[in-house]
Structure 1
Amino acid sequence: MQASYRTKGRENIMRVFMEHCEELISASDMNEFLAEMGTPLNLATIYRNLDKMTDAGILIRYQDEKEDRAVYQYVGDRDECHNHLHMKCIKCGKVMHLECGFMNEIRLHLSDHHEFELQCQNSILYGVCKNCR
C-alpha cells in the first residue's frame, strides 16, 4: 500500500477541521475556508483529500439531504465517534455527540424489539439546540 504523504494542503485541511470540530463541512465550505486563510486549493484536490481522510477514518462522511451534498466531520483517531449518534442543530449547524447511557438503551431496544443493529458512524439526528430555541 502506498504511503500517505502529509502535504501542506492536507495539513491546512486538517487545521480547518480542528478549528471547526463541532461543524459539518462540505468540500465547497472547505474551499471557502482555505481561500480565507490565503491557502486556496483546487476543488478536485479538496475532494481527493476528503476521500482519503474518510477512508483513513479521520473523517466521517454524511449525506446532507437538505443541500444534496456530502458533508464531513473530523473525528481524528477517536473511535468513540463510530459508537454513538450525533445531533445537528438545523439553525446554527453545531454538531453534538450523544454520549450518554441513553445510547445503550436505544441500541438494546432496537436489537431486542426490532432485530436491528444500529450502525452509528453515519447516523445523525436533526433538531434545534438549546442556544437556538
Structure 2
Amino acid sequence: MPYTTKQRQAILRCLERRGDASVTAGELAEDLRVEGFPVGLATIYRQLERLEAAGVVHKVNTEDGAFYQYCGRDDHDHRDCFLLKCERCGRIRHVDCTQLQALYDHLEREHHFRINPRGTLLSGVCDQCAKEEEQRGKQ
C-alpha cells in the first residue's frame, strides 16, 4: 500500500489488535470512537475494501453480514491462506497452511477450477467445541 491515510492506519491497528477475531464495520467504528478517533461507516467500508484488495484483510460474507479479519501475511500471495469457521460457536480462524496447495493444484489440473484462497471458507467444528461436545456425551 503505497499511500495510506490516518483512517486506514487506525482501522488496521484495530484489526491487528483483534488478532484472530472477526469484526463488523460497526464494531470497528465503535472501537475507533472509544479510542477518540471517530470515523464514519462509509469511510470504514471504503478503507476495508482497499485493505482487502491489498491482501491485508479477509472479508467474510455470512448470513449475519460481512465480517473482516486481519491477515498478517507479509508476502501477500496468500496461496496458503484460508479461513475455518466453526459451525457451533461461529468463530472464524485464519490459517496459513501449505498442505492445501496440493488440493488447489488438483482441482485446477483435473477439474479445471481455480480456487481463490482469499475467499476460501471451510466450515466444521473447532477443537474447543468438539471437546465440549465430547464432554457432554460422557455425562
TM-score, normalised by the number of residues in structure 2? 0.73
Q: 2:108 aligns with which of 111, 117, 120?
A: 111
Q: Percent identity?
A: 27
Counterpart contact for 1:92–1:132, Cα < 8 Å: no
Could you tell me which amino acid in structure 1 is paired with residue 80 of structure 2? N
Q: Which runs of 5+ in 1 are unaligned?
A: none
Change (3 A) 1:34 1:85: same
Q: Cα RMSD (Å) of the superposition?
A: 2.4
Tell me which structure has the larger Cα radius of gyration.
2
Distance 1:54 1:85, change over 3 A: closer
Structure 1 runs of 4+ aligned residues shifted over 4 Å read: none
Q: 1:45 to 1:88 in 2, by over 3 A?
A: same
Q: 2:86 maps to which residue?
A: 89
Matched pairs, number: 127
Unaligned runs of 5+ in 2: 131-139
The correspondence of residues 44-83 of structure 1 with structure 2, limited to 5 A, is: 44-64=42-62, 66-67=63-64, 69-76=65-72, 77-83=74-80
Give secondary structure in 2 for the equivalent of 1:22. Answer: coil
Give TM-score, length-normalised by structure 1: 0.76
Q: Secondary structure at the match of 2:127?
A: coil
